[in-house]
Amino acid sequence: MTPREVVERWVALFNAADAAGLADLYHPEAINHQVTQDPIEGREAIRAMFEREFSAAKMVCIVETIHEAGEVAALEWRDPLGLRGCGFFTVRNGRIAFQRGYWDKLSFLKMHGLPIQ
């Protein structure tokens, strides 16, 4: 799959809250770094992160745009509650090797009635 196709599949699995399916899109040693948190290293740790997050809040990713350049796809997104963000996915051999995401964690926590950490 191209980086764009991987990100399109990622969005579909994210919106289905499919942690195992999402994890399968990552290289075994992938890194997912949401800048509001410490980086998560390894496919199994990434799967566990998604399981925790999906159990804490109903999350929906609405694609604004996807840009692709070489092995990187950039996803600009919003959610139904008004939160906006972007993610950068480095894809090698059809799997995500590195992901970095930018979004407002304080707004997310407030919107979902979660404790501010």
Is 107 among the domain residues? Answer: yes
Q: Is the pLDDT of residue 32 over 80?
A: yes
Q: What pLDDT, in 10s, does the model give residues 44-78? A: 999 999 999 999 888 899 999 999 999 999 999 99
Is 116 among the domain residues? Answer: no
Is 117 among the domain residues? Answer: no
Q: What pLDDT, in 10s, does the model give residues 94-113? A: 999 999 998 666 666 676 67
Domain that holds residue 77: 3-111
Task: Return d(Cα 96, Cα 98) in angstroms, integer.
Answer: 6
Domain count, the chain: 1
Is 103 among the domain residues? Answer: yes
CATH label of the domain that carries residue 93: 3.10.450.50
Q: For residue 38, count CB atoms less than 10 angstroms from its CB and return exposed for 0-12, middle for 13-18, buried for 19 or more.
A: exposed
Is 34 among the domain residues? Answer: yes
Q: What is the pLDDT of residue 52?
A: 93
Q: What percent of the chain has pLDDT over 70?
A: 91
